[in-house]
Structure 1
């Protein structure tokens, strides 16, 4: 029987996500002990009482949603090992207040410059030979962020045979949160990917590392030194998707982004108000 941590490692959760999930699950466990409730037999109404108690503590709605998502994962684990017969937490849906917060986006030109500057970091900046070699891998990873808008969960599942350099395409397998799709590689990605595969010979995974999210955070932090306009990898993905929406229809972007629901894609479109704002200022100027 696997532990909860082993279950999450198997499903590709990062060390940071696991720590946050543990905090949320432990909060529920403490509440159940105080209420004399058997956690493994908690019912729907009792779960709602727990949510009410979190609100009474002043916990924000968004934080409660994240907590319930963590608890849902825990009950998926309990279901898998046969401790519970159903995941009652999946029945809980908490309405979010307001729209999804979209960070300031980067233009295609900005993303192009970020990738170009990172790729051409002078060799003398790499303090060791290992750092110099790993930079080749990091260039490939950053390219997949700024051109294909991949997440750390998706880069973790990439295999070497998912790359088709002859056709200039990459297959992105599905994850818990995204659909599989095939995307075009940009011309300036081809040589770095070819060099990386030939020199590192990764097999079967393209980036053999258990901590993809940590690795990507370090790459983004390095790129941020020359480009302080970068916030994080989420901002990069958001920018890619919103830029796609300016030149493709929403169904195409849903496919390219790997969104399982069209609603996920619509959230980005509803925030892309730049053209509308310009029109309003032109025809209805503020007095």
Structure 2
């Protein structure tokens, strides 16, 4: 039985890679979900192929899973299995899915704290600009917030990625996908100040010549260092929220939405593969939706 499962899993992996263009990491996660089911069947001595497995066996597996993992992990496994059985139907191996009656548990998706514009201003104002690192940190936080970057996108930013004349920066996101994000004149000004006043005087290590944000040893900053800088500033101003570099990205999206930006534009700027990921922001603060309705609906 195991070999039969492996054959179908292999075909499914090829489909995910060639037809869906998914990364190796994502494919590994999808496979991991199916292997959990296979291991359960082996453990319980249930001999059934992917073509013959029914709702009863899958339900048994889900009940056992629910006793071991939290709602979010259950949700991911169920979603992975739904995708696998949909593929088997798509390829005419099955006519129906054994996942029909299985509901994804509500996870109440936890969202990070959002900073108000005055809190962001307060954090940036607390930076000690009398130190070389201060100029760099101001430029970094301004870039995080005004471009909505992930922390790894910020630390990997290259000088050759800056297209200030056109008003954009080129960002390399998850799965090496590249996107162009608009950048405002004030953020450009802070980056240029850092480049001309601070970065120019550093002894830059080999291989880091094109890296924009450097530590004092002339190397690329680590993600952990950016976390520390932000945590220290929060302590300095007595901010009681749990914040991280991602809070700036989250605030970028929330503030755009609250000020009337459309989800599709926000999705493109954040580099979300699916609009569903961006839609999470719709659940934060619905007060602006009433304004949108009264302003744009013909029956207002």
Partner of 1:261: 274
Aligned-partner Cα distance in 1 for 2:288–2:253: 16
Aligned-partner Cα distance in 2 for 1:110–1:61: 33
The answer on whether the counterparts of 2:113 and 2:241 sit within 8 Å (CA) in structure 1 is no
Partner of 1:3: none
Partner of 1:243: 255
CA shift for structure 1 position 221:
0.9
Using structure 2 for the length normalisation, give the TM-score: 0.56
Deviates more, 1:46-55 or 1:142-151: 46-55
Aligned residues between the structures? 227
SS state at 2:230 partner: helix
Q: How does 1:13-24 map to 2 (within 5 A)?
A: none
Q: Which has the higher contact order (CA 8 A, sep 6+)?
A: 1
Q: How does 1:45-64 map to 2 (within 5 A)?
A: 52-57=63-68, 59-64=69-74
SS state at 1:194 partner: helix
CA shift for structure 1 position 53:
3.1
Alpha-carbon displacement from aligned partner over 1:23-51 (angstroms, at most 9, x marks no partner)? x99x96997996799xxxx9797998765
Larger Cα-atom Rg: 2
Partner of 2:92: none
Unaligned 5+ residue runs, structure 1?
1-10, 14-20, 73-91, 124-131, 279-287
Aligned-partner Cα distance in 1 for 2:177–2:281: 16
CA shift for structure 1 position 216:
2.3
Partner of 1:107: 116
Partner of 2:158: 159
The answer on whether the counterparts of 1:181 and 1:258 sit within 8 Å (CA) in structure 2 is no
CA shift for structure 1 position 147:
1.8
Aligned-partner Cα distance in 1 for 2:77–2:123: 35
Q: How does 1:54-133 map to 2 (within 5 A)?
A: 54-57=65-68, 59-65=69-75, 95=104, 97-118=106-127, 120=128, 123=131, 132-133=132-133
Distance change (3 Å), C-alpha of 1:96 and 1:56: closer
CA RMSD of aligned residues (A): 4.6
Distance change (3 Å), C-alpha of 1:50 and 1:197: farther
Aligned-partner Cα distance in 2 for 1:173–1:94: 36
Alpha-carbon displacement from aligned partner over 1:133-178 (angstroms, at most 9, x marks no partner)? 4x44433332222222211232243222002345553221232397
The answer on whether the counterparts of 1:160 and 1:206 sit within 8 Å (CA) in structure 2 is yes
